[in-house]
Each structure stands twice: as structure tokens, then as C-alpha cells.
Amino acid sequence: MYYRQLTNTTFSVGAVDWNRRLFDELIPLPDGTSYNAYIVRGSEKTALVDTVDPTMADVLLENIGRLGIDRIDYIIANHAEQDHSGTLPQVMERYPESSIMVTPKGKTLLEDLLRIPGNRILSAEDGTVISLGDRNLELIHTPWVHWPETMVTYNREDRILFSCDFFGSHLATSGLWASAEPAVYEAAKRYYAEIMMPFRTVIRKNMEKIGGLDIAMIAPSHGPVYDNPSSILDAYRDWISDSVRNEVVLPYISMHGSTQHMVNYFIDALVTRGVMVKPFNLVSTDLGELAMALVDAATIVIGSPTVLTGPHPLVVSAAYIANMVRPKARFASIIGSYGWGGKMVEQLSGMLTGLKATFLEPVIAKGLPTEETFRALDRLANEIQEKHGSIMV
């Protein structure tokens, strides 16, 4: 993708990856992604904010060349992860006069991950201001969004927040601006769910930290630039809040039909009680879609048959992810079936210790569900309805 102009002095010089479909060998990318980097030209000096994934190094270097940049004074590395920092060695070789600006923890990570010489890296304290002449860049530490060393960069004169992974979205698009891309909200929510949700509490503090800035644009390192920043700021305030919706997320597997019968009955029982249900058959579920559903739901119910003595392996994977992303769900439970015995409930509940949720009594059937099983499912549906009613405002 050719460079694009944000202001008279700021240019997007990153790359769009139309074909990538998996991130970190884990996260599905149904819409591809982008690796955004930005050139800020001051009257005296020039800065590059972030770089790109190493696979796209040529695109970055070509775009910088097209702008006629013959000197880069500062390379600001907001984040040490390789999709942002991986092209630093090539940029440093092309522009040997440049210094890298990072947080103190970022300096150590760049030395370890990329073997960059320490004498080329400058540690920036929180609030450090870099003067480019008529443009000033403020470096603001935002730890654990989503690594310990992360920071954002604020262009005071143009009121641009270079937010790196903060407010990002995995979305390959030819458009520069988020306001022109209808899919950006869903892509940003998926990104939050998969990457940022485990750090919801600390993100609140960092939202407060940038709350006093006068922001005209938010330029993340993945996805379009927000020319209406209030849209993504309001979305994040909702996602990181403690408020939940009258929803049950129901990831499940059924091997021989018993758990499927229970799931079907349970869905109807919840719907007739006015509770929205989002079922996910884990045979074909996009884990990103599951993570998105977990952002808002008040309750998680996991459905599984027993394989040997434990839960189905795909259910184990889903439970691990739910525990890892730490959604704000208030309640959790388990439904399922077994043939001769096992410890499926104990093992699954032990995998969900990261959830700050109240566990409701499970419903487990031996073989095909009976009328007693269905009565127990009604009992669980009633309890969920009552619990939701007690917390909804």
C-alpha cells in the first residue's frame, strides 16, 4: 500500500497484509490485518513511529523512500512485539543516524528479542517530550496494554495519538479512515476480546491517563485511523466497564447426541425466560467470535460430553481461552453427559479459576437426558434468569 497523508506533516507508511489468516499461530484473521507505521516531519527533525512486521519490510522502506526521507532522527518503538518492531534492524541499517526511543522495559526487550545494540536505544521516562522543531511528540507509558513495556505517542500540535495496539483492529482495507469503514467496530471488538480483555482493569487506568489529551485522531498500529476518536473511546469505555448484558454464552461439543439434546432444551428454556443465548458448536467455531461474545455476557455455560474421564479436548481449549481472556461474566456453569464415570466437571471448573464468577450447580446426565435432567436444566435456567435480574439496571 502506497503511503497516505494524515496531515501536512504526518504520513502513514505501513503495510496492508491482505492474505494473513492467523496471528501468533492462534488468533484467526478473517479480514487480514495491517501493520501501521507513521512518519512525522518536523521543521528540524523527523521521527518514525513504529515499524512493521518483518514480512513487510520492503513496503515500509519503499514508502519512506517515496516521501524523500533522507534522515530519520528518532524511531519511536511504542511496543517491542515483532509485528511492530521486527523491521527495526533494516530501518536502522538504512538510517544509521537514528536513535530508538522506548520505555526502560522496552529497551531490555528489544535487546533480547532482536539483539539490537544497547547504545542505539534510548530509554524514555514517562512524559518525555521529543522536539522535532515545530512538532513535539510526548511519550506516555501505558504498561500492560498489552505487554509490560507498551506506550503511546501524542503529537501535541496535530493532536494525533499514535496508540499502537491500543484501539487497534485486525482489518485489511484500502481505506485510511475508520469513519469510511463499516466493519471497523466489529474488527476492533474482536481485537479487544482476543488481545486486550485480560488487561481490562489496567486499561481503565490507562484510559484515564490519556483522558486529558485533546485528541483529533487516533492512529493505531493495526487497522484504520480514527478520524472520529469518540467512537472507539466510547466503545472501550463500555467494554472495560463492569456492566454485563442479559446473555449466556454457550460453547459446547456433543459426540453422540446426549449433550446436544441438553443444549437444545437449555437454549429453549433460557429464551422462554427472556435470556439471550449465544451457542457455539466448537466443531466449527471461530475462536475470535467466541471471544467477542464473552466481552458482554453475564453468564458462561460450557457443554461437554466425557471423553475417557475428562472433558472433550475442544472444550478444554475453549475453557482455557475463556480463562485466559478473563471476561467480566458474573456467573458460570457446566452441562453435559457421561457414559460410565469421570471427573469432567471437576476438571473443567478447575480450568476456570481465572474467572471472577459465581459457579452455579452443574447439570450432568448419565447417557441420554431424562425428564429429571430436563427439570434440572429448567432449574438452572430459572437461576440464571433470577441472577441476571438481580444485577441488571
Look up the domain containing 213 and give its range. 4-240
Phi, psi of 264 (to 5 degrees): -60, -45
Grid coordinates of 19: 492474505
Instruction: Count how many domains the chain has.
Output: 2
Whether pTM exceeds 0.85: yes
The domain boundary, picked from 202, 218, 240, lies at 240
- Which of 240, 268, 289 delimits the end of a domain? 240
Express each pLDDT in 4-51 by its tens digit: 999 999 999 999 999 999 999 888 999 999 999 999 999 999 999 999
**CATH at residue 42:** 3.60.15.10
**Given 198, 220, 240, which residue is the final one in a domain?**
240
Based on the fold, state whether residues 258 and 220 are members of the same structural domain.
no
Q: Is the four-CA dihedral 259, 260, 265, 271 of positive or negative sign?
A: positive
Q: For residue 267, what is its C-alpha cell?
A: 437454549
Percent of the chain with pLDDT over 70: 100
Is residue 266 in a domain? yes
In terms of domains, do 357 and 211 share one? no
Q: CATH number of the domain that 374 lies in?
A: 3.40.50.360
SS3 174: coil
Residue 342 is predicted with a pLDDT of 87
pLDDT value of position 393? 58
**The three three-digit cell numbers of residue 75, written as one number:** 524511531
Cβ-based burial of 365 (10 A; exposed 0-12, middle 13-18, buried ≥19): buried
Question: Is residue 326 domain-shared with residue 231, that is, in the same domain?
Answer: no
64: three-class secondary structure by DSSP: helix
> Residue 1: is its pLDDT beyond 90?
no
Question: What percent of the chain clears pLDDT 90, i.e. is strictly above it?
Answer: 97
214 and 342 co-located in one domain: no
SS3 (DSSP) at 55: helix
Amino acid at 392: M
Q: In angstroms, rounded to a whole number, what is the distance separating the alpha carbons of residues 222 and 224? A: 7
Confirm whether 115 is domain-assigned: yes
